[in-house]
Structure formats: C-alpha cells, structure tokens
A and B are shown apart, each in its own frame.
Chain A
Amino acid sequence: MSTFSVSFRDANGVRILDLHGELDAHTASDLEGAIQQCHAEGSINILVNGEDLEYISSAGLGVFMAYVEEIRDDGGDIKIADLQSKVYNVFDLLGFPVLFDICETEEDALARFEEPAPDAGNASS
C-alpha cells in the first residue's frame, strides 16, 4: 500500500516538514498529527517541503485547511514549497495558490516568512 512519512527540520525559526511518499485518505492523519504536534509545541511558522511527495489526494489537501486558520490567527503561517509538478497541479486545480503561499524553492519560502504578511499582521493585532 501507499507509504507516507514526515520528518522535521528547523531553519531560522521555521519548522520544516519534509513529506515523503503518498498522501491520501489513509495517510492524511499522519500529516495531521505532525502539524498538530508542531502547533502544540509552539511552532507557528511551518514550511511544508514537498520535494519527495509523490502523490496527494483531496483528503490530503484537507489537512492543510484544518490548521491554517488557527496558525494564522496565532500570527504564523503554513507555506508550501518545492512541489513536484504533478502534485502542484492538484494544489493548483483546487485553487490552493490563492489560499496558500506556494513557493518554488524552500529558500523562497523561508524568505517569505521574513516579510511581514499583511494578513497575519492584521490577525494578530
């Protein structure tokens, strides 16, 4: 069956989640747990690296929606970077680029965390 795993890294106060394998209805809870854990530990700047993410289903996309609001309310954000084109296409079809910062590279995304996001600024005040 499909395999999925998440590993963690830290860079410049940003928690980076490296996704591996296939994210579908069965494995969505793994990612959900990982984001929940980051949030519980106080990491509000979360960067999801999709370099090794082979596949994502709509249930997998739902996970991003589950926490983004809370994290943005806390002044943080979830950004997504380095997606394979096939996976990006799924994000794109659903209109995720409108809702999330989806960057081509991890560096871009990290840089984006430096800029104050107008939305986040409003939410935290």
Chain B
Amino acid sequence: MSLARLRSLWDALNLPDFTSDAWRGVLIAIVVVGYALGIGYHLLTWATGSAPALAWRAGYHMSIVLCYSALWFLFSSFLRRTVRSPVRLFLYAVLAGVTYLVLATLVQSLGTGQGLLAGGDASVAGLDYERRVPLTIAAVVKVNLLSLLEVTFTMLTLLLLRSLVFYRRTRFSQFKWRLMMGFFVLTALLTFMKDPADDLGGLMAVAMIPAVGMAVVNSFRLSWIVYLPFREKMATMGLALVLMVLLGFSLGDGVLPDVSSYTRFYSFPLSVFALLAALFGVLYGVTTMLSLLFHLPTTSAFQRKADEVAAIQSLTHLISQVFDLDKLSRTIVASPIDAQSGDVAWLMLMREGADAPLRVQAVQGAMVKDIQETMDVDALFAEVQETQDVLLLDEAPGDRRVRAHPDGAFESLLVVPLLARDDVLGALFVAKDVRYGFEEDDVEAIRVFAAQAALALDNARLFEERLEKERMHRELAIAREVQQKLLPQEIPSLRGTSIAASSVSAYEVGGDYYDFVRLDDDRIAFIVGDVAGKGTSGAFYMAEMQGIFRSLSRQASEPREFLVAANRALSTTLDRRAFISVVYGIFDVGREEFRLARAGHCPAALIDLHGQARLLRSGGIGLGLNNGDLFEQSLEVRTERLQPGDVFVLYTDGVVESRNAEGEEYGYARLKASLQEHRHEDADDLHEALLCDLQGFLGAETYDDDLTLVVVKWHGLPIGVPSPAPQASALSLPS
C-alpha cells in the first residue's frame, strides 16, 4: 500500500518533456556554462595554488552537479524513444566504451605521462588532494576531460540499457527503474563536498545497499531475450562480454587506473554515480550472459512457435486474397508441415450432393492412396463431425480405424474439424511419424490454425456461390429476354375490334402465355395460358406451347381441333406433374361470333353493353392431364354471338387469385365490378383501368404470381359497310 502510494507519487512527479528543441537548447546552455565554469575554477586553483573559500567550493560543486544533470537529461531526450534491436543497443554501448577507452588513453598520455607508470599515486598524477588543487596545467586538462569522458560513457551505457529494461514495460517496471535512479542520485549526493582523499568507510557501503539492491532487481528485466533469433543471441552474448570488460576499466582497477581518481577529484558525487552506473552495467551484463546461455537451447522451440504464428498470420492474409479453393487448400495443408507441426497433412472437405460426400481436397507429405489404404477416414471424420472437437490419436495404429503403415508414416494422428457458422465443412488431418508426436501446444496451435482455415474456406465457398448466383442471374436475364420475345410484339388489328394485352412475370421467367394469330381478314385465333410446372421448367413448356400455337392454329384453327391436337402433342413431352391450362378461341368478325373452348383455364369473362357479366365456364380439362379420350370427351366449345359493346376478358389466375396484405383474394366479384364500371371504354383504357384497380387493391407494385390480362372489345361494324372491308377497320371505331 505504501509502495503503491509512493509509486503514484512518483508518477505524479512527471519530469518535463525535454525532447522539445527549446528545452534541449536550455540543457545545452547549462552544460556548456557549467563545464566552462568548472574549467575556470580548476585553472584558478592551479594558478593560485590554493583552494578557495568554502562558499566558492560549494558553488563549484553545485554547478558541476547541475551541469552533469543537464547532460543526463540531454542524452536521455535523444535516447528516450528510439527502439533498437538489443544487438544494436549493446553494439552502441560497446562502441561508446571503445571510444572512451581510446580517448581516455590519449588524454592520459598528456603531460608527463608518469602517472601511468607510478600506478595511482595522486601526487604523481598531478593532483594535490590535500590542498584540493591541480599541480600542472596538464592535470587541469585531464581532470576536466577524463571526468567528462568517463561520466559520458557510463551515462550512455545506463541509458542504452534502460531501453532493454523498459522492453514491454509496465508502470511497475518503470517505477522500479526510477527508484533505482533515485537511489543512485541520493547515494551520489551523500558524497557532496567530500574531499577526494576522504575515506568514506562503512557509512558509504551501507548507503549503497539500496542502490545496489535496486540495480540487482532491474538487471532481471530480460524479457527481450526470448524473442531473439539464435544468431542474435550469440552476437548479444559477445557484445555483453566486451561491455562488461569496458565497464570494468571504468570501475577503477585496470588499464586506466587514474581515471576514477581524476573524476573523484573533479566531483565526488559524479564518480560515485559513474561507479554505480558501471556496476549496474556489469550486473546487467552478467544476467544477460547467463540468461542468454540458458535460453540458447530453447531458441529453436521458440522459433517454431513464432513460425506457427507466422503461418496463421499468412493464412489470415490469404483469406482476403485467395478465393480459389484449390490454391487455398494447398496453402492450408502446407502450413502445418512448414511450421514443423506434422509430417503429413491433408484436408478433407464435404461436397454437397455428391455420392461420396467426403473427399481429399489437398495433401502434402504422402499419397492419397496411402491415406485411404491406411485408415478409415470416413469413420474418423464422422467422429469429429459428431463431437465438433479435435480428435487426437497418440498411438494411431492402435486405433481400430487405422492400420499400421509399412513406413510408419501415421504413428500419431490429429483430426481437427473445420467449423464455420455451425457447419462442419470438413477436417484437417495432421500425422506424425512418431507416437505421442503432438504436444498440447501443437494441438492448440493447429486448432487455432484450423479455425482460420475454416473461415478462409468458407469465404472461398461463399465467393464461389456468389459467382454462381451472378452467373445464374445473367442467364435468367437472357432467358427473360428470350421469353419476352415469345410474346406477341404487336397486336394484330381486326375491323370493329380493339384489343389490349399484357403479361407480367413475378420472377425472372414465367409460365404465362398469350398470343394472337391473324388467320384471315375476319378471324384472329387467341390463346391465353398458364403453365403449371416446377420453377423455370414453366418457361420451356411455355415456349413449346408457343410453337404449337403458331403452327397448329393455322391448320387446325377451330377450338376443338386445335386443343385436341395440342393435348396430344404436349402429353408426350410434359412432365407428369406439369400441365398447361389454356383458353383458346377464334374471334370471327365475318360471322360476328366468338368460338372458344377452355382447357382447365380460368373462365373468360364477358360483359355486354348493358353491364350484364358472365363467366364462360365451359367443360374441359387442362392440357397434359390426360392423353386419352377423356380430354376430348370433356371438352366443350362455346359460341358467343357478338353484340356491339361486348367485352371479353381473358386472364390467368394471377389476376383473380392475387392477394393483398390481408390475404384477401382479388376474386371474380371485383373483376366483374371493375368491368362493369369501365365497360364503355375501349380495350386499351379498359385494360389499363382493370390493372389499375387490381394494383390499387393489392397495394403493392410487385406481384406474387405471373399475371396476364387480355381484353377484346367488339365495337360492331358500321351499318352498310360490306364485309369483308379491310380498310374499314379504322372507320369502325366509335368515338
């Protein structure tokens, strides 16, 4: 609790963001001024040969601490967000170390150079610890330069390692790091104003305990190691070793014995900070080395895991790219083998509507024949289809569904169902040539992979279905166009008569049909029919009916002859459950009569000038229902004398059986009422009025059923015009 509070306190104490240029300018100014002041101070003490008063010394030390604090924040601002690979981080630290070593050696050799030979004697190094003054001008230069070099190197090392410690950082790890830095600074500041010659003794050792403790804690932040490939691990190990050696030099004993004594002379806290930073560097180096050493053997296992992840990722990528089922299947079976999860892999998919519903879609690592001879894949599939879960056979040949293979290729077997939208699309089989070849994480990985694969396959399947649908749609559009052309493109004219007709299909193609053939100047043959048959088959029968009408009506034009012949022709070709209901008639203006017969069709409606309406319901069964004598026996032909103003309406059941939203049928009564209302109009207007009324009743633009409506109106012949009189037809239309 107290720790948490401390942490939040620390987080609240957010240091300013030094990355802005303005801040960097300020920091650089502080560093330059502080450093220049330091040089001036040392030159002054060298010149006067004695240390100044206490206040002056305190000012000097404070300015140095300030200068190097600014230097820290300056470096930190440049290294804060740069993410580099661990190898490169170590490489930079080593390069900094080598540069430091070379420069420090050069600076050391300035002046007498005797310091090196004398081995750490302060006076020989050109410094007088007692009087706190440099003895030579070379010593002044050395004090300033060597301190800068050592502190710069250790600071850089610390900052570079910070990136590693912060790998996958949490608030807590950040807090631990800041705590360590806090202890470093506190410990260093304990030595503020101490004389270089002072022996700090036990107190200092005690003061260092928390700093070192935190350094140890932070040096176990090594999670970046696991993600390194083998070669990078080796390289990092080497670099860490070199860095440790270089840091060892800066810790004091070694090739550069005097550097730390110069730094200590320069500023005691700085030298303590450098010492602690170097100590952390060495600790981190040690843990890195050891951890790398232990992680080396697991690298390949980790790499495999990474490959599995990569395989799944590449498949996820494929889902959006590949809609070719074969290509996708090959990729799917290749993946477990590439990821070394198995030796043989094959994919079995369900096929809709096939005799053998399951088939090997793709295989890698074996022959399809081998698989089929070795095991009962159908039984294995049936099980995963039932359980919808993974089936793992650790000792496959021990299972009753699997036989031993001579090469021992299928010793352990994993069967994963491919599930998409609660549907088992198939299964992915993975086999290994050793028993107990699949570990738990292998199974999990393949399961995840199979889920992705199922999604991809499902997408490919949907895409194919979509393509098929679009193709069907185009085909149907063509069929519709063709069918429209089977309907009469223009209505023949007949004197004294006006005719209007239309047909609408509820779907792309329909089974409704109407047609006219002008037999001679006086006669037109009519047909209105409706094919009852499954789906698009209706359209074909309608086409056949059209052919029969066009050819037969000229030879056998009278209703009985025509319908009997048509029934005979159709009964051999129609499907048993299909039939065609028609009304066929001859409109004969020469004899002023309408002869018609009904083969199972809705009765034609007739309304006269006075509004008397009748349904012409004569006997007759549908075409194609009976190929014997029953058809002819039941067929009745009606002959209607034409009276001027008579209106005949021929239609299909789409008209009378259409239902509105309440499920109510349009019906004969409404048809009759509408006819009575509009009976004085000519065929076109009457036709339009009837459709208008129907649509008004339905309350919708679309129809559920095909709908055909033919209106024939007899206006009568003007008195005195002899028949035949072809040119009289225009005159005969009453206004």
Contact = CB atoms under 8 A, between A and B. Distances in A.
A62 B600 contact: no
Contact of A94 (B534, B577, B581): B581
Interface residues on A, range: 10 to 19
Contacts of A58: 530, 532, 579, 581, 653
B619 interface: yes
Interface in B636-668: 653, 657
B577 A95 contact: no
Interface stretch (B491-499, B520-528, B588-596, B621-629): B621-629
A63 B577 contact: yes
Nearest to A64: B577
Contacts of B599: 95
B566 to A, nearest CB: 15
Of the listed residues A25, A65, A69, the one surrounded by the most CB atoms of chain B closer than 10 A to its CB is A65
B578 interface: yes
A99 B534 contact: no
A94 B530 contact: no
A62 B532 contact: yes
B550 interface: no
B269 interface: no
A62 B601 contact: no
B630 interface: yes
B576 interface: yes
Contact of A59 (B532, B601, B621): B532
A30 B74 CA distance: 84
B560 to A, nearest CB: 15
Nearest to B626: A99
A95 B600 CA distance: 6
Contacts of B657: 57
Contact of A98 (B581, B601, B602, B621): B621
Given A93-B603, A94-B621, A61 B532 contact: yes
A124 B579 CA distance: 26
A117 interface: no
B298 interface: no
A55 B148 CA distance: 102
A95 B622 contact: yes
Given A58-B581, A93-B601, A99-B621, A69 B576 contact: yes
B523 to A, nearest CB: 27
Given A65-B576, A95-B634, A98-B634, A59 B622 contact: no
Contacts of B342: none
B620 interface: yes
Contacts of B602: 93
A123 interface: no
A58 B599 CA distance: 14
B528 to A, nearest CB: 14
Contacts of B210: none
Contacts of B576: 65-66, 69
Nearest to B659: A55
Contacts of B653: 58
A123 to B, nearest CB: 13
* B interface secondary structure, majority: loop
Contacts of B621: 94-96, 98-99
Contacts of B626: 98-99
Contacts of B716: none
B533 interface: yes
A16 to B, nearest CB: 22
Interface in A26-83: 32, 57-59, 61-63, 65-66, 69
Contacts of B532: 57-59, 61-62
B563 to A, nearest CB: 12
Given A94-B625, A95-B634, A99-B626, A62 B577 contact: yes
Interface in B565-598: 576-579, 581
A59 B625 contact: no
Contacts of A65: 576-577, 579, 625
Interface in B481-535: 530, 532-535
Interface string A79-122: 00000000000000111101100000000000000000000000
Nearest to A95: B621
A25 B534 contact: yes
A9 to B, nearest CB: 25
Contacts of A57: 532, 657
B479 to A, nearest CB: 18
A69 B441 CA distance: 65
B620 A62 contact: no
Interface in B601-619: 601-603, 617, 619
A69 B576 CA distance: 9
A22 B291 CA distance: 78
A93 B600 contact: yes
Contacts of A32: 577
A6 to B, nearest CB: 17
A63 B603 CA distance: 23
Contacts of B619: 95
Nearest to A94: B600
A62 B634 contact: no
A66 B625 CA distance: 10
A96 B576 CA distance: 15
A119 to B, nearest CB: 11
A61 B531 CA distance: 12
A59 B531 CA distance: 9
A62 B535 CA distance: 13
A25 B603 CA distance: 22
Of the listed residues A32, A58, A62, A93, the one surrounded by the most CB atoms of chain B closer than 10 A to its CB is A58
Of the listed residues A57, A59, A61, A62, the one surrounded by the most CB atoms of chain B closer than 10 A to its CB is A62
A98 B530 CA distance: 20
A57 B506 CA distance: 15
Contacts of A95: 599-600, 619-622, 625, 634
A83 to B, nearest CB: 16
A31 B622 CA distance: 21
Contacts of A96: 621
Contacts of B530: 58
A86 to B, nearest CB: 8
Contact of B622 (A25, A63, A94): A94
Interface of A: 25, 32, 57-59, 61-63, 65-66, 69, 93-96, 98-99
18 contacts: A25-B535, A57-B532, A57-B657, A58-B579, A58-B653, A61-B532, A62-B577, A65-B576, A66-B577, A69-B576, A94-B581, A94-B621, A95-B600, A95-B621, A95-B625, A96-B621, A98-B634, A99-B621
Given A98-B621, A98-B626, 16 more contacts: A25-B534, A25-B535, A57-B532, A58-B532, A58-B579, A59-B532, A62-B532, A62-B533, A65-B576, A65-B625, A69-B576, A93-B601, A94-B600, A94-B622, A95-B621, A98-B630
Pairs of residues from A and B, 5 with the lowest C-beta to C-beta distance, nearest first? A95-B621, A58-B532, A62-B577, A66-B577, A94-B600
